[in-house]
């Protein structure tokens, strides 16, 4: 398959041997983490990423070598044609793998935030998105905030810049699943495909894929895998 998306649960108890799947540097870093829950979560995420990619690459999970771009996007040192991206929230982890170019994924647990939503919207949304969001009924504003937010995050992760690019520079169509404006250095909106993910509430997520090599009839519907961390 040219694109795969794996959803994993991070909720299981940590087993002693799971630490052994991590690289030496990951194990060393894990030992520096003071809080047990933070340590458990770090190990589970790294274990999940290694297991899924190891299965996909048909390679030992422990021997996979990672590196990061100047802006911090991880990539596979030994597989330049395999792109991947991860996102996690609560007890859920998403791993996107693409053989057809850049990919970005974001998942968020829909919840009330400490920062007022309007403040975040004004800071991170484009003027047309702000106008659309403000006219929504109060009952829809939280869900629409997360729909737009995850789409923006997925794009800035796909191009490898993260939120440092400025979320307001990526504009999402208010009533459709599509990009309507992006920074010109990343081509045109036709160069990217945005997919809102059908996840179980309260999760919301989005996937962005480069379209240059993407099959015209591509659909993600049969490529979302609920993957066990013991795969």
Long-range CB contacts (within 8 A, 24+) of 190-195:
192/155, 192/158, 193/218, 194/151, 194/154, 194/155, 195/220
| pLDDT average, residue stretch 193-207 | 91
Hey, which bits of the chain come out as E strands?
3-9, 66-68, 74-76, 83-89, 92-98, 103-109, 171-172, 179-181, 192-197, 203-210, 224-226
Predicted confidence at residue 186, as pLDDT, reads 92
Mean pLDDT of the chain: 88
In the DSSP assignment, the letter for residue 99 is S
| pLDDT tens figures, 112-166 | 888 888 999 999 999 999 999 999 999 999 999 999 999 999 999 999 987 777 7
Predicted confidence at residue 50, as pLDDT, reads 95
- Per-residue burial over 163-176, b if 16 or more Cβ lie within 10 Å, else e, is eebebbbbbbbbee
Nearest Cα to Cα of residue 152 among 137, 142, 164, 134: 164
Q: How many CB atoms lie within 10 A of CB 15?
A: 12
In this model, does residue 95 exceed pLDDT 80?
A: yes
CA angle (103 as vertex; 102, 104 as ends), nearest 5: 135
Predicted confidence at residue 18, as pLDDT, reads 67
23 neighbors 67 (Cβ within 8 angstroms): no
If you count them, how many residues does the chain have? 231
Give residues with Cβ within 8 angstroms of 29, minimum separation 6. 42
d(C-alpha 160, C-alpha 164), whole Å: 10
Question: Which pTM does this prediction carry?
Answer: 0.91
Helices (H), the chain: 24-32, 36-57, 117-124, 127-134, 138-158
Q: Give percent above pLDDT 70 in the chain.
A: 92
Predicted confidence at residue 225, as pLDDT, reads 66
- The dihedral sign for the CA sequence 18, 21, 26, 27: positive
Structure tokens at 51: 């297991």
| pLDDT tens figures, 162-195 | 777 778 889 999 887 889 999 999 999 999 999 9
Domains and CATH numbers, the chain: 3-226 (3.90.470.20)
In this model, does residue 196 exceed pLDDT 80?
A: yes
């Amino acid at each position: 398959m040219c694109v795969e998306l794996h959803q994993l649960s991070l909720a299981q108890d940590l087993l002693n041997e799971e630490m052994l799947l991590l690289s030496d540097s990951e194990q060393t870093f894990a030992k520096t983490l003071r809080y047990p829950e933070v340590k458990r979560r770090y190990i589970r995420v790294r274990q999940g990423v290694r297991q899924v990619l190891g299965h996909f690459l048909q390679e030992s999970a422990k021997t996979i070598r990672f590196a990061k771009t100047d802006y911090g996007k991880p990539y596979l040192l030994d597989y330049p044609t395999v792109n991947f991206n991860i996102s996690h929230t609560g007890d859920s982890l998403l791993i996107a793998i693409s053989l057809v170019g850049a990919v970005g994924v974001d998942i968020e647990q829909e919840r009330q935030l400490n920062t007022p939503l309007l403040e975040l919207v004004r800071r991170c949304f484009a003027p047309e998105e702000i106008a659309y969001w403000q006219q929504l009924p109060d009952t829809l504003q939280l869900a629409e905030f997360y729909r737009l937010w995850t789409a923006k995050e997925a794009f800035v992760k796909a191009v490898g810049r993260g939120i440092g690019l400025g979320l307001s520079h990526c504009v999402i169509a208010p009533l459709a699943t599509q990009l309507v404006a992006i920074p010109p250095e990343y081509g045109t909106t036709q160069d990217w495909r945005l997919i809102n993910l059908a996840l179980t509430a309260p999760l919301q997520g989005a996937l962005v894929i480069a379209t240059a090599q993407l099959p015209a009839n591509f659909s993600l519907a049969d490529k979302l895998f609920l993957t066990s961390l013991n795969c």
